Amino acid sequence: MKKTKVTAFFIAGFLSLSVFSAELDSSVNSQQRLHDLQQRWATVNYTLKDDAQEKAFEQLVADAQQWVEQEPESASAHIWLGIVKSTYAGAKGGLGALSLAKESRKSLEKALEIDPNALSGSAYASLGTLYYKVPGWPFGFGDDDKAQELLEKALAINPNGIDPNYFYADYWFEQGDYAKAESYANKALAAAPRPDRPLADEFRRKEVEQLLARIKREQ
């Protein structure tokens, strides 16, 4: 009887350890995928041009889609599929861009369903940006009021981040409120660097500086 109990105890312990190990491996794999996609996206979005950029974006979309299919409950996977598709839309332009933007919106909305706080509220920031960048009815789903609501939610989660402050600054610039645009652009410029995303930070800061220069010309 005792032997049976001891054996059962060790089997249960082994199974628990196996489950924990599998979960740990999955978490490590997800983090590696996230890091890899972030680095490649920065290279594609900021350093490539024309056909080379388009082909690289297509591969990024395929890889992000594969991540979503393998981890359908990962908010991070859905966020990055949305980010890749939205930036690809911006680079592509034309009729195909709106289709990509709609697909991006769907991915980001799914991420919000899973975990709105994932990646420091990145889904809110990216979705908000889509809403003020995409044309409104009858051509697209753009909505400035919705954009403001989403961007403010992003800032509530990550008030000092470079991305949400830059996007909100850009939003206010497009609204013609240059004082608010300047305020948020300066906050973006003062954001702490992200050690794991040096290339993205470098080019985002350049975008902030360019926005500040445009603001100065309008004031």
Domain layout of the chain by residue ranges: 40-152, 159-219
Cα dihedral: 67, 89, 218, 176 (round 10): -80
The pLDDT, as a whole number, for residue 23 is: 44
Closest CA to 150 of 131, 169, 177: 131
Average pLDDT over residues 71-99: 94
The pLDDT, as a whole number, for residue 28 is: 62
Least confident interval from 4-13, 36-45, 48-57, 80-89: 4-13
Task: In whole angstroms, give the CA distance from residue 19 to residue 156.
Answer: 36
The pLDDT, as a whole number, for residue 27 is: 61
Q: Which residue has the tokens 């990646």?
A: 119
H or E element that contains 153: helix 144-157
| pLDDT, tens digit, 9 for 90 and up, residues 94-127 | 878 999 999 999 999 999 999 999 999 999 999 9
Task: In whole angstroms, give the CA distance from residue 177 to residue 174.
Answer: 8
Quick one: fold of 40-152?
1.25.40
pTM for this model (two decimals): 0.87
Q: Which amino acid is at 145?
A: D
Q: Find the distance separating the first CA and the last CA of the chain, reported in whole Å.
A: 85
Q: Which amino acid is at 162?
A: I
Average pLDDT over residues 199-209: 98
- Does the pLDDT at position 149 exceed 80? yes
Residues 6+ apart with CB under 8 A from 151: 124, 125, 128, 129, 164, 167, 168, 171
Supply the mean pLDDT for the chain.
90
